Homo-oligomer: A and B are copies of this chain.
Amino acid sequence: MPTSETLTTERILEATEDVLRRYGPAKATVVDVARLLGVSHGSVYRHFRTKAALREAVTARWLGRTEDLLAEITEAPAPSAGEKLRHWLSALFEAKRHKAGDDPELFATYSALITESSDTVDRHLALLTGQLTSIVEEGVAAGEFTAPSPASAAQAVFVATARFHDPVHAAEWRRPAIEDEFRAVCDLLLRGLRP
Protein backbone atom coordinates (compact mmCIF):
# COMPACT_ATOMS: atom_id res chain seq x y z
CA MET A 1 0.00 0.00 0.00
CA PRO A 2 1.78 3.15 -1.18
CA THR A 3 -0.33 5.41 1.07
CA SER A 4 0.84 3.94 4.36
CA GLU A 5 4.37 3.46 3.01
CA THR A 6 4.69 7.19 2.36
CA LEU A 7 2.90 8.27 5.53
CA THR A 8 5.88 10.04 7.04
CA THR A 9 5.87 12.25 10.11
CA GLU A 10 6.61 15.18 7.84
CA ARG A 11 3.54 14.48 5.65
CA ILE A 12 1.32 14.27 8.73
CA LEU A 13 2.67 17.57 10.03
CA GLU A 14 2.09 19.27 6.67
CA ALA A 15 -1.48 17.97 6.56
CA THR A 16 -2.00 19.09 10.17
CA GLU A 17 -0.87 22.60 9.26
CA ASP A 18 -3.35 22.61 6.34
CA VAL A 19 -6.17 21.40 8.56
CA LEU A 20 -5.37 23.97 11.24
CA ARG A 21 -5.32 26.74 8.65
CA ARG A 22 -8.65 25.55 7.23
CA TYR A 23 -10.67 24.84 10.39
CA GLY A 24 -8.81 26.84 13.04
CA PRO A 25 -7.20 25.39 16.18
CA ALA A 26 -10.52 25.08 18.05
CA LYS A 27 -12.20 22.80 15.49
CA ALA A 28 -9.33 20.88 13.82
CA THR A 29 -9.35 17.16 14.68
CA VAL A 30 -7.09 14.16 14.04
CA VAL A 31 -9.90 12.70 11.89
CA ASP A 32 -9.66 15.80 9.61
CA VAL A 33 -5.92 15.20 9.25
CA ALA A 34 -6.41 11.51 8.46
CA ARG A 35 -9.15 12.31 5.92
CA LEU A 36 -6.91 14.82 4.13
CA LEU A 37 -4.17 12.18 3.90
CA GLY A 38 -6.59 9.44 2.84
CA VAL A 39 -5.64 7.22 5.78
CA SER A 40 -7.38 6.01 8.94
CA HIS A 41 -7.00 8.08 12.09
CA GLY A 42 -5.33 5.02 13.62
CA SER A 43 -2.46 5.47 11.14
CA VAL A 44 -1.97 9.03 12.35
CA TYR A 45 -2.05 7.87 15.97
CA ARG A 46 0.77 5.38 15.19
CA HIS A 47 3.00 8.46 14.61
CA PHE A 48 1.53 10.73 17.31
CA ARG A 49 0.01 9.09 20.35
CA THR A 50 -2.36 11.94 21.18
CA LYS A 51 -3.93 14.94 19.51
CA ALA A 52 -1.98 17.14 21.94
CA ALA A 53 1.31 15.49 20.86
CA LEU A 54 0.46 16.16 17.21
CA ARG A 55 -0.30 19.80 17.93
CA GLU A 56 2.91 20.18 19.92
CA ALA A 57 4.90 18.63 17.09
CA VAL A 58 3.45 20.94 14.44
CA THR A 59 4.11 23.95 16.67
CA ALA A 60 7.70 22.81 17.28
CA ARG A 61 8.19 22.42 13.50
CA TRP A 62 6.92 25.94 12.90
CA LEU A 63 9.18 27.42 15.59
CA GLY A 64 12.06 25.24 14.35
CA ARG A 65 12.20 27.05 11.01
CA THR A 66 13.19 30.27 12.79
CA GLU A 67 15.61 28.40 15.06
CA ASP A 68 17.45 26.92 12.04
CA LEU A 69 17.72 30.26 10.30
CA LEU A 70 19.13 31.92 13.42
CA ALA A 71 21.50 29.02 14.16
CA GLU A 72 23.16 29.67 10.79
CA ILE A 73 23.78 33.30 11.71
CA THR A 74 25.02 32.31 15.17
CA GLU A 75 27.54 29.85 13.74
CA ALA A 76 28.72 31.81 10.70
CA PRO A 77 31.77 34.08 10.97
CA ALA A 78 30.97 37.81 11.20
CA PRO A 79 33.13 40.99 11.12
CA SER A 80 32.31 41.57 14.82
CA ALA A 81 30.11 40.20 17.59
CA GLY A 82 28.19 43.50 17.51
CA GLU A 83 27.35 43.04 13.84
CA LYS A 84 26.42 39.41 14.41
CA LEU A 85 24.11 40.38 17.27
CA ARG A 86 22.40 43.05 15.17
CA HIS A 87 22.08 40.64 12.22
CA TRP A 88 20.59 37.95 14.49
CA LEU A 89 18.02 40.34 16.04
CA SER A 90 17.11 41.73 12.67
CA ALA A 91 16.69 38.24 11.14
CA LEU A 92 14.44 37.24 14.04
CA PHE A 93 12.32 40.36 13.54
CA GLU A 94 12.15 39.77 9.77
CA ALA A 95 11.21 36.10 10.18
CA LYS A 96 8.41 36.87 12.63
CA ARG A 97 7.17 39.78 10.60
CA HIS A 98 7.03 37.68 7.45
CA LYS A 99 5.20 34.90 9.21
CA ALA A 100 2.65 37.41 10.52
CA GLY A 101 2.28 39.34 7.26
CA ASP A 102 2.43 36.61 4.61
CA ASP A 103 -0.08 34.25 6.18
CA PRO A 104 -1.98 36.05 8.95
CA GLU A 105 -4.43 33.17 9.50
CA LEU A 106 -1.68 30.62 10.02
CA PHE A 107 0.11 33.08 12.28
CA ALA A 108 -3.05 33.54 14.37
CA THR A 109 -3.40 29.76 14.51
CA TYR A 110 0.11 29.30 15.81
CA SER A 111 -0.25 32.22 18.20
CA ALA A 112 -3.19 30.32 19.70
CA LEU A 113 -1.32 26.98 19.64
CA ILE A 114 1.72 28.30 21.50
CA THR A 115 -0.49 29.13 24.48
CA GLU A 116 -1.18 25.39 24.90
CA SER A 117 2.37 24.13 24.17
CA SER A 118 4.25 25.76 27.01
CA ASP A 119 7.04 23.14 27.08
CA THR A 120 7.67 23.52 23.35
CA VAL A 121 7.71 27.30 23.67
CA ASP A 122 9.99 27.24 26.72
CA ARG A 123 12.39 25.00 24.79
CA HIS A 124 12.24 27.38 21.80
CA LEU A 125 12.93 30.44 23.96
CA ALA A 126 15.78 28.66 25.75
CA LEU A 127 17.29 27.70 22.41
CA LEU A 128 17.09 31.28 21.10
CA THR A 129 18.55 32.84 24.25
CA GLY A 130 21.24 30.12 24.12
CA GLN A 131 22.22 31.32 20.65
CA LEU A 132 22.25 34.91 21.90
CA THR A 133 24.41 33.86 24.85
CA SER A 134 27.02 32.36 22.53
CA ILE A 135 27.12 35.61 20.50
CA VAL A 136 27.61 37.62 23.72
CA GLU A 137 30.36 35.18 24.83
CA GLU A 138 32.04 35.62 21.44
CA GLY A 139 32.04 39.39 21.97
CA VAL A 140 33.38 39.05 25.52
CA ALA A 141 36.18 36.72 24.31
CA ALA A 142 37.11 39.28 21.63
CA GLY A 143 37.18 42.12 24.19
CA GLU A 144 34.33 43.77 22.30
CA PHE A 145 31.64 43.28 24.98
CA THR A 146 31.61 43.29 28.76
CA ALA A 147 29.05 41.10 30.50
CA PRO A 148 29.49 39.75 34.05
CA SER A 149 27.03 37.01 33.05
CA PRO A 150 26.68 36.51 29.27
CA ALA A 151 23.53 34.39 29.82
CA SER A 152 21.84 37.13 31.82
CA ALA A 153 22.92 39.82 29.33
CA ALA A 154 21.55 37.66 26.49
CA GLN A 155 18.27 37.23 28.35
CA ALA A 156 18.07 41.02 28.87
CA VAL A 157 18.68 41.63 25.14
CA PHE A 158 15.95 39.13 24.27
CA VAL A 159 13.44 40.68 26.70
CA ALA A 160 14.31 44.24 25.64
CA THR A 161 13.56 43.36 21.98
CA ALA A 162 10.22 41.64 22.77
CA ARG A 163 8.44 44.38 20.83
CA PHE A 164 10.14 43.02 17.69
CA HIS A 165 9.58 39.28 18.09
CA ASP A 166 6.85 38.50 20.59
CA PRO A 167 3.63 37.62 18.66
CA VAL A 168 1.58 39.73 21.13
CA HIS A 169 3.12 42.75 19.37
CA ALA A 170 2.36 41.58 15.81
CA ALA A 171 -0.14 44.40 15.17
CA GLU A 172 2.64 46.97 15.75
CA TRP A 173 4.98 45.46 13.15
CA ARG A 174 3.18 47.19 10.27
CA ARG A 175 3.68 50.70 11.70
CA PRO A 176 6.07 52.91 9.71
CA ALA A 177 8.01 53.99 12.83
CA ILE A 178 8.88 50.40 13.79
CA GLU A 179 12.14 50.30 11.78
CA ASP A 180 13.49 53.40 13.52
CA GLU A 181 12.46 52.02 16.89
CA PHE A 182 14.21 48.74 16.15
CA ARG A 183 17.42 50.53 15.20
CA ALA A 184 17.31 52.79 18.26
CA VAL A 185 16.77 49.84 20.62
CA CYS A 186 19.61 47.84 18.97
CA ASP A 187 21.96 50.83 19.21
CA LEU A 188 21.20 51.34 22.88
CA LEU A 189 21.61 47.63 23.74
CA LEU A 190 24.89 47.37 21.83
CA ARG A 191 26.19 50.46 23.64
CA GLY A 192 25.16 48.78 26.90
CA LEU A 193 27.38 45.78 26.09
CA ARG A 194 30.51 47.90 25.49
CA PRO A 195 33.38 47.44 27.99
Binding site for B on A (CB under 8 A): 152-153, 155-157, 159-163, 166, 168-169, 180-181, 184-185, 187-194
Known interface pairs A159-B163, A160-B161; 13 further A-B residue pairs with C-beta atoms within 8 A, sorted by A's residue number: A152-B184, A153-B188, A156-B181, A156-B184, A159-B181, A159-B185, A160-B163, A166-B169, A168-B168, A188-B189, A188-B192, A188-B193, A191-B191
Q: Lowest 8 A-B CB distances belong to which pairs? A: A192-B192, A160-B160, A156-B184, A191-B192, A188-B192, A168-B168, A156-B188, A162-B163
* Interface of A: prevailing SS: helix
Q: How far is the CA of A24 from the CA of B160 in the complex (A)?
A: 33
Give every chain B residue within 8 A of A153 (Cβ-Cβ): 184, 188
Q: How far is the CB of A5 from chain B (nearest CB, A)?
A: 45
Q: 22 A-B Cβ contacts within 8 A?
A: A152-B180, A152-B184, A153-B184, A155-B184, A156-B184, A156-B185, A156-B187, A157-B188, A159-B185, A160-B160, A160-B163, A160-B185, A160-B188, A160-B189, A162-B162, A162-B169, A166-B169, A168-B168, A187-B192, A188-B193, A191-B193, A191-B194
